[in-house]
Structure 1
Amino acid sequence: MSSTEPRRTALDALHRSLGATMTDFAGWDMPLRYGSERDEHNAVRTRAGLFDLSHMGEITVTGPQAAALLDHALVGNIGGVKPGRARYTMICREDGGILDDLIVYRLGEAGTVPEYLVVANASNAQVVLDALRERSAGFDAEVRDDRDAYALLAVQGPESPGILASLTDADLDGLKYYAGLSGTVAGVPTLIARTGYTGEDGFELFVKPEHAVELWQALTKAGEGAGLVPCGLSCRDTLRLEAGMPLYGHELTTSLTPFDAGLGRVVKFEKEGDFVGRAALTEAAARAEQNPPRVLVGLVAEGRRVPRAGYAVVAGGEVIGEVTSGAPSPTLGKPIAMAYVDAAYAAPGTEGVGVDIRGSHEPYEVVALPFYKRRK
Structure 2
Amino acid sequence: MSSTTDLRRTPLYERHQAAGARLVPFAGWEMPVQYAGVKEEHIAVRTSAGVFDVSHMGEIRTSGPQAAEFLQRILSNDVEKIAVGGSQYSVLCKEDGGVLDDLFTYRLADDVYLTVTNASNHAKDLAWFQRWAADFEVEVEDAFDEFAMLAVQGPTARQVVTQVLGHQLPAAFKTGGAVWNGADVLVAGTGYTGEDGVELLVPPAVAPQLWDALLAGGAVPAGLGARDTLRLEVGFHLYGNDLSEDRDPIGAGLGWACKEATGFVGSEAVAAARENGSPHGEKLVAFRFTEKGIPRGGNPVVGGGVVTSGTFSPTLGAGIGLAYVPVERAEIGTPIEVDVRGRVRAAEVAKKPLYARPR
Q: Under TM normalisation by the shorter chain, which class is it?
A: over 0.9
Q: Residues 44 and 241 (structure 1 numbering): CA distance in 2 closer, same or farther, change over 3 Å?
A: same
Aligned equivalent of 2:315: 331
Give the CA deviation at 1:292: 9.7
CA shift for structure 1 position 338: 1.1
Corresponding position: 1:313 with 2:296: no
Question: Deviation of residue 79 (structure 1)?
Answer: 2.5
| Match runs of 1:14-33 below 5 Å | 14-33=15-34
- 2:330 pairs with 1:342: no
**Are residue 167 (structure 1) and residue 150 (structure 2) matched?**
no
Residue aligned with 2:323, SS = strand
Are 2:247 and 1:256 equivalent residues in the alignment? yes
In the alignment, what sits opposite 2:339?
356
1:218 aligned residue: 213
Q: When the two structures are superposed, what TM-score results if normalisation uses the length of structure 2?
A: 0.95
Rounded Cα–Cα distance in structure 2 between residues aligned with 1:79 and 1:138: 18
1:365 Cα deviation (Å)?
A: 2.2
Contact 2:24 2:30 in 1 (8 A): yes
Tell me how far apart the structure 1 counterparts of residues 349 and 76 of structure 2 sit (CA, whole Å): 31
Conserved in 1, the CA contact under 8 Å of 2:286 and 2:320?
yes
Give 1:196's aligned amino acid: G
Q: Does structure 2 conserve the Cα–Cα contact (< 8 Å) formed by 1:99 and 1:254?
A: yes
Bigger shift: residues 305-314 or 274-283: 274-283
How far 1:344 sits from its partner (Å)?
A: 2.2
Question: How much does 1:155 deviate?
Answer: 0.7
The amino acid that maps onto 1:302 is T
User: Which is further off, 182-191 or 61-70?
Assistant: 182-191
Is 2:44 aligned against 1:51? no
What is the 5 A alignment of 1:1-376? 5-108=6-109, 110=110, 114-172=111-169, 175-185=170-180, 188-223=183-218, 228-271=219-262, 274-288=263-277, 293-314=281-302, 319-351=303-335, 353-376=336-359
Cα offset, 1:69, TM superposition = 1.0
Instruction: State how far apart, in whole Å, the 1-side matches of 2:322 and 2:264 are.
Output: 30
CA contact (8 A) 2:4 2:30 kept: no
Distance 1:183 1:150 in 2: 14
Tell me if the contact between 1:90 and 1:100 (Cα under 8 Å) persists in the aligned partners.
yes
The Cα shift of 1:176 comes to: 2.3
Which segment is superposed worse, 132-141 or 162-171? Answer: 162-171
Contact 1:164 1:185 (8 Å CA) reproduced: no
- Whole-angstrom distance in 2 between the partners of 1:301 and 1:22: 30
Amino acid at match of 2:239: Y
* Contact 1:96–1:278 (CA under 8 A) maintained in structure 2: yes
**Structure-2 separation of matches of 1:82 and 1:13:** 38
* Contact 1:292-1:343 within 8 A present in 2 as well: no
Matches of 1:185 and 1:204, distance apart in 2: 15
Deviation at 1:286, TM superposition (A): 1.8
1:31 partner letter: P
With over 3 angstroms needed to count, the CA separation of the structure-2 counterparts of 1:259 and 1:370, relative to structure 1, is same
Note if contact 1:50-1:156 (Cα within 8 Å) is conserved in structure 2: yes
Q: TM-score, normalised by structure 1?
A: 0.91
User: What are structure 2's unaligned runs of at least 5 residues?
Assistant: none
Q: Deviations over 1:283-327 (max 9, x none)?
A: 2222129x994222222223322111111112xxxx232111111
Tell me the CA shift for residue 3 of structure 1: 11
CA-to-aligned-CA distance 1:264-298 (integer Å, 9 cap, x gap) = 12111233xx4311222222222129x99422222
Letter in 2 for 1:269: E
- Amino acid paired to 2:207: A
RMSD, matched Cα: 1.8
Partners of 2:48 and 2:155 within 8 A in 1? yes
C-alpha displacement of 1:4:
6.3
What is the number of residues matched between the two proteins?
A: 357
Between the aligned residues of both structures, percent identity stands at 44
Preserved contact between residue 167 and residue 186 of structure 1 (Cα < 8 Å): no
Q: Cα offset for 1:169?
A: 4.1
Contact 2:53 2:149 in 1 (8 A): yes
Cα deviation, 1:36-91, whole Å, max 9, x if unaligned, reads 11101110001110111000011111111111111112212213211000000011
